[in-house]
Amino acid sequence: MCGIAGFLGEFDPKLLNEMEPVISHRGPDDVGIEYISESGLGLIHRRLSIIDLSNLGHQPMWDTTHTVCIVFNGEIFNYKELREELLEAGHPFYSHSDTEVLLQLYLRDGKSMLSHLNGMYAFALWDTRNSTLFVARDGVGVKPMYYAETPQGFLFASEMKALLKIPQLDRSLNLEAIHYYLTYLWCPAPHTVLSNVQKLEPGHALLVHQGTIQNHWQFYELPYDQPVAKLSETDAVEQTQFYIKQAVERQMIADVPVGAFLSGGLDSSSIVAFAQKHRPQQRMQCYTIGFKDDSFQQEGMADDLPYAKQVAQHLDVDLHTVEVGSDMVDELKTMLYHLDEPQADPAPLNALFICRLANKHGLKVLLSGAGGDDIFTGYRRHYALMQEKYWDWLPSVLRSSLGFAARGFPSSNPWGRRISRAFQYAHHNGDERIASYFHWMDANLQQSLYGPQMRKVVESLPFSSPLVRSLSGLPPTVLPLNRMLYLEGKHFLADHNLNYTDKMSMAAGVEVRVPLLDPDLIAFAARLPLEFKQQGTIGKWIFKKAMEPYLPTGAIYRPKTGFGVPLRHWLRHDLNAIVEDVLSPSSLSNRGLFDVTGVQHLLYLDKQGRVDGTYPLFALMCVELWCRIFLDGTL
């Protein structure tokens, strides 16, 4: 796990020294900078040493013939098997790093090397034979990659803040992206908050020549276009156990100790169970969150700690608890700085606090249970989608009435909020309705928040959202639940969960791995019959059955709880001063993005309990705070 950045074009080489410190937290163990004047190529690498801890793992790394050079962020979990193949074919190695495997694999296979990789990665590889830069990002998007084309040439980095060190970079806001941050709380790739910066989409690659992108292609797609398998319950349980066990064992590879998140829920507990079983001689170090005050329970959030303790005792692992409370709000600006994007979710603070403690204990690698809900089901929207059969036969006018009636449910009550969201877009059909489950507020209310320029941009957008456009690439035979799971993986995971997991962990100098997103496991889960995923109110049904021999029943069938914080309470108390400042009429008028009257009306409706404006208001705050940090430099 590392940080990478660089450029190809007519840039001042001194800018490499400006970009490098911005990503230094991603790799505290080593730094490498290379500049090739005749090509205009600059490469930066910050190293977190995990595989081959010797100096032979230093990057930028050249092959033995000085033909190709790479900067690489991530891990290749099947690198040992690939190394053996390459050795047998006569390829020379001077290190035991997975980075050198990438170099030799490219010399053998060229761009088609990507089809052989099982890992989480983003890299930029320079080929002296044709003066091209080959840039790629792993299929699920575990590792980030930002890039920009400018009149001076091509820029790339693990974190967008490194690109902002280039004076020539256009800093114009992408108003379409800001609309998406309010709609979803995150922004679908390739858009970012800046018009001239893009996220390389998961499973995509670029070829850059003389500072210009010559080729951009997709090499991996989430496998939801395959037919549903015919499996017995017994076979499905056994295969679920096999693929999860295999994924965990693959991702245990490291030359340093490996720890884990442990919330006491199914996903993280399963990862820890198989990890401890794989290395019984090493007592695993696990980390969880505990509450200092009752603000969490006041918002209906279940305390993970009792479940985590139960699982830790059952599996005989060490459990370390991070006590969190309202003092977390002091880290809000730190969170936004490291996120790079104005994602309106404070849950990343939990990951940041856990990774800080792990780092203090000397751990560089943690396993996470992220992805279980996204491939096996588990979110409330999955259950809501499966319940549509009871009402989607109604005529459109009646479904519209149903949505209108649902808006009247009290937002102060968790069940009221859930019912309102479930039926808010009942009048839509097909993919439009599937995509609408990811929306956070009524479209008309959202429009009222926009200033004239924002409103003009949003009105000119195509009717279909980026999520609907993504679904249009799937065959019509793909069932609705799998279509939603496709969106979970392609967007919600890559653009939200994985982005914050990477940024928060790397801010603390820790690598987080996600075994439940192993490509073989994803392909297996995509083939499962729907009744093995969501069975009535039970999400991840087959996953839960598969783990019954390994985990306490209470941990497997515990109520679903999110990895969150009491944001509603914070906005009314601990963050109230920031709310009044950031969303004040003067602040809104100065920025010009949002309508003063519209925002004040939303604040009023939220205080009256007529709408739940918590996350939309937080999204407005995050956009303004991001601008202050990265554009104004005032925070």
pLDDT tens digits, 512-524: 999 999 999 999 9
* Encoded tokens for 538: 């039970």
- The Cα 242–Cα 260 span in angstroms is 20
Q: Is 233-377+483-556 in the same CATH topology as 2-218?
A: no
Torsion angle of C-alpha atoms 468, 137, 176, 384, degrees rounded to 10: 40
Asked if residue 634 has pLDDT above 90, the reply is: no
DSSP state of 213: E
pTM equals 0.94
Position 430 scores a pLDDT of 84
Around Cβ 441, how many Cβ atoms within 10 Å? 20
Radius of gyration for the chain, computed over Cα atoms and rounded to the nearest angstrom: 24
Mean pLDDT, to the nearest integer, of 529-541?
95
Query: What ranges in 388-497 are assigned the alpha helix state H?
Result: 396-406, 414-423, 430-436, 443-447, 452-459, 466-471, 480-487
Q: Which of 105, 106, 155 is nearest to 130 (CA)?
A: 106
Dist CA 367 CA 273 (whole Å): 11
Query: 260, 287 in Cβ contact below 8 A?
Result: yes
pLDDT at position 346 over 80: yes
What are residue 74's DSSP bridge partners? 121
Q: Name, in order, each residue with C-beta under 8 angstroms of 435's C-beta and a sequence gap of 6 or more.
A: 465, 467, 468, 471, 487
State both tokens at 225.
């276009």
| Chain segment 294-313, per-residue pLDDT in tens | 666 666 566 788 999 999 99
The residue among 421, 405, 416, 344 whose CA lies nearest residue 609 is: 416
Token digits of residue 242: 């096999």
pLDDT of residue 569: 83
Token pair belonging to 609: 């309990």
Q: Using CA atoms, how far apart are residues 464 and 468, in angstroms rounded to an integer?
A: 6
With beta carbons less than 8 A apart as the criterion, state whether 272 and 317 touch: yes
Q: Domain locations in the chain?
A: 2-218, 233-377+483-556
| pLDDT value at 436 more than 70 | yes
Query: What topology is assigned to 233-377+483-556 in CATH?
Result: Rossmann fold (3.40.50)
Per-residue burial over 50-74, b if 16 or more Cβ lie within 10 Å, else e, is bbbeeeebbbbbbbeeeebbbbbbb
Q: Could you tell me the pLDDT band of residue 576, with boundaries at 50, 70 and 90?
A: confident
Question: Among the listed ranges 454-468, 484-498, 527-541, which one has the minimum average pLDDT value?
Answer: 454-468
How far apart are the C-alpha atoms of 487 and 379, rounded to whole Å? 13
Half-sphere exposure (Cβ direction) of 544: Cα atoms closer than 13 Å: 22
Predicted pLDDT at 164: 96
CA 576 to chain centre: 28
Tokens of 615: 């996350």
Q: Classify residue 200 by its DSSP letter.
A: P
User: How deeply is 1 buried, as exposed, middle or buried, from its count of CB atoms within 10 A (0-12, 13-18, 19+)?
Assistant: buried
pLDDT bin (cut points 50, 70, 90) of residue 425 is low
Q: How far apart are CA 562 and CA 557, in angstroms?
A: 15
Q: How far is CA 223 from CA 130, 233, 472, 522, in A?
A: 34, 22, 15, 8
Q: Is residue 84 within 8 Å of 43, Cβ to Cβ? A: no
100-111 per-position pLDDT tens digit: 999 999 999 999
Whether residue 160 has pLDDT greater than 70: yes
pLDDT for 426 equals: 67
Res. 392: pLDDT tops 80: no
In CATH terms, 2-218 corresponds, of 3.60.15.10, 3.60.20.10, 3.30.530.20, 3.20.20.150, to: 3.60.20.10
pLDDT in tens, 176-210: 999 999 999 999 999 999 999 999 999 999 999 99
Could you count the other beta carbons within 10 Å of the beta carbon of residue 361? Answer: 13
Which CA distances in Å does 299 have to 303, 331, 411, 428, 619?
11, 21, 12, 30, 19
pLDDT tens-digit series, residues 257-285: 999 999 999 999 999 999 999 999 889 99
Asked if pLDDT for residue 89 goes beyond 60, the answer is: yes
Residue % of the chain over a pLDDT of 90: 81
Please say if the pLDDT value at position 609 is more than 80: yes
Please choose, from the candidates 417, 441, 422, the residue with its C-alpha nearest in 3D space to the C-alpha of residue 299: 417
pLDDT of residue 398 exceeding 70, the answer is no
Q: Estimate to the nearest angstrom the gap between the alpha carbon of 52 and the chain centroid.
A: 27
Considering the chain, what is the average pLDDT of its residues? 92
CA-based nearest residue to 563, from 344, 302, 269, 343: 302
Parallel, antiparallel or unpaired: strands 132-137 and 146-150:
unpaired
